[in-house]
Every structure is written in C-alpha cells, then in structure tokens.
Amino acid sequence: KGTLYVVATPIGNLRDLSFRALDVLAAVEVVAAEDTRVTARLLSHYNLSKRLVALHEHNERRATETVVGFLEAGKSVALVSDAGTPAISDPGAQLVAEARRRGYPVVPVPGANAALCALSAAGVGGGPFLFYGFLPSRPKARREALTALRELNFPIVFYEAPHRIVDSVRAIGETLGESRRITLAKELTKVHEAFVEGAPQDIVAWLETDPARQRGEFVIIVHARAPGDELAATFDATSLLAALIDELP
Ligand code: SAM
C-alpha cells in the first residue's frame, strides 16, 4: 500500500521547509500539488524533479480518485499546497478523508502554517483560540458569520485576501465591537513582515494611509475581550439574572 504524506511547505521564506519534508519529497513517487508550477519551482530549488499531479479546489474530487489510484498501485504520494499546511483553508481535505476511509496510511509532515505563525508571535496569550480561516466574501454572509462569533471570548484567527482586507477589518469592528483589539500579521516570514496592533478603526486607518499596505498576505487576529468591556458586562448581567431567576419560587 502506498502512503499519503501531507507535507507542509513554506509560507514565504524558503528556508522554512523541514529536513523531513525534503526527505519525504525526495522519496515519494508522486507529488499532488495545488498549482504544479508553484511546486515545480519549489522542487527545482532543491534539485528535485517529480511526477506532479494537480489537485486544486476545482478538480479535487477527480484528482482524489487519481491519487487513490497511485496509493492502490503501491506508490507513495506527497500532498502539498502552494504555501503552508495542506487541507488547512487549502485543497486536500477530501483526499485525506478518502485515503483514510479506504485504509491507506496518512502521515502528516508538519511545518509552516500562517495562523499558528501569527498567533505564536502576536502576544495574545497561549490559551484557547478559534481558527476561522476565510470569512464569506459577500457582505451580508460575512456579517452573519461574524455575528455568530460575538459571544465567543477567545482570540479568533482569520485569513483574508488583500482586496478584502479593509472591508473585513471594518466589518469586524462593526460586529464584534470597536473595543476588541486586532493584530494584523502581514507578509509573515518575508522581507516586509509586519505586526500591527490596534482597535479595528486604527487598523483600517493604517491600511488606508497607503494602498501599498493593502498588498501582500494577511492574518487577522481578533483579541479576546478586555476585562470589563461591554459584552462581558452584558454576560454578567445575564448570568446574574439567571441566578436570580433560579432563586425565585
Ligand atoms: N494552508 C495555508 C496555511 O497553512 O497557512 C493557508 C492557505 S490560504 C489559501 C492563504 C491565506 O493564508 C492567505 O490569504 C493569508 O490569509 C494566509 N497567509 C498565507 N501565507 C501568509 C503569509 N506569509 N503572511 C500572512 N498571511 C499568510
């Protein structure tokens, strides 16, 4: 039986590929890649040349069958995406589920991931957090998604595309509240890496000061509420009421 390796690749800095990832990429017979050109460049940087199969959001079902065919034939396959960890806001989840369902070994080869990279250096505490990934792109659906998160008092990690970054940060301020601080982690592991922290409207202002600031890749971290802020107070009133109601005859 072939093994499916789920291999993380760098999110910017090419040095962030692990020794083990290199070993696995060198050893497998086939690499299933989100964009074969991007992966061909990565492989050639390490003087590797492999049989590449495209597996992206538009062909994942068909490509899954192809890859399972390789596993069936006893060939090992590395699943990679353009950047970071496959199947995390990226193609590959269907393939992983199908390989497991059919009993093939699935082995993760961990490495870069933009969410954890941002979180590890944002200084928002080491406790629970929610990884959300991409918000819906339509304003109404985005607002609804954010509203559903209002009562969750954890740091929340979002991915966002450059052309929606301003709208999303603004929508976060409007739904989760201006008192909820934000850390924007931009261009992680790259030359122009930056962490910017402030209230949602400060972040919007920072982004709008110079359109160049809106280019690049972003992780948005919404901090947990500060003690004593508005919604927390609502919560206290609610639990106080609940406690009082319990006492009523
Ligand atoms: N699978 C990837 C991972 O493990 O992080 C995520 C892929 S997702 C399609 C791409 C999004 O991840 C970008 O829109 C951005 O929000 C975030 N991202 C990826 N690389 C980044 C970087 N170098 N700096 C900041 N954010 C990044």
ipTM of the complex: 0.99
Distance 185 CA to ligand 1 centre (A): 10
CB neighbour class for 185 (10 Å; exposed up to 12, middle 13-18, buried from 19):
buried
6 lines ligand 1 (CB under 6 A): no
**How far, in Å, from the CA of 62 to the mean position of ligand 1?**
25
Cα Rg of the chain (Å, integer): 22
Percent of the chain with pLDDT over 90: 90
34 lines ligand 1 (CB under 6 A): no
Q: Report pTM.
A: 0.92
Give mean pLDDT, residues 187-204: 98
Cβ(168) – ligand 1 distance below 6 Å: no
- pLDDT score for 228: 78
Ligand 1 center–CA 245 separation, angstroms: 47
Mean pLDDT of 228-239: 58
Q: How far is the CA of 172 from the centre of ligand 1 (A)?
A: 19
Q: Which residue's CA is the nearest one to ligand 1's atom 8?
A: 89
Ligand 1 pocket check for 60: Cβ under 6 Å? no
Q: Is 12 in the pocket of ligand 1 (CB under 6 A)?
A: yes
Q: Is the CB of 79 under 6 A from ligand 1?
A: no
**Measured in angstroms, how far is the CA atom of residue 84 from the centroid of ligand 1?**
7
Residue nearest to atom 2 of ligand 1 (CA): 84
Is residue 220 helix, strand or coil? Answer: strand
Banded pLDDT at 227 (limits 50, 70, 90): confident
User: Cβ(16) to ligand 1 under 6 A?
Assistant: no
Q: What is the pLDDT of residues 9-63, one digit of tens each?
A: 999 999 999 999 999 999 999 999 999 999 999 999 999 999 999 999 999 999 9
- Measured distance CA(48)–CA(42) in Å, rounded: 9
Residue nearest to atom 19 of ligand 1 (CA): 114
pLDDT in tens, 100-142: 999 999 999 999 999 999 999 999 999 999 999 999 999 999 9
Phi then psi dihedrals of residue 184, to 5 deg? -100, 120
Q: CB under 8 Å to 146, separation ≥6 — which residues?
A: 135, 171, 172, 175, 176
Tell me how far the alpha carbon of residue 113 lies from the centroid of ligand 1, in angstroms: 7
d(CA 206, CA 7): 35
Q: Is 48 left (phi over 0), alpha (psi -120 to 50) or beta?
A: beta
pLDDT at 185 over 90: yes
Give me the sign of the Cα torsion angle 105, 110, 115, 120: positive
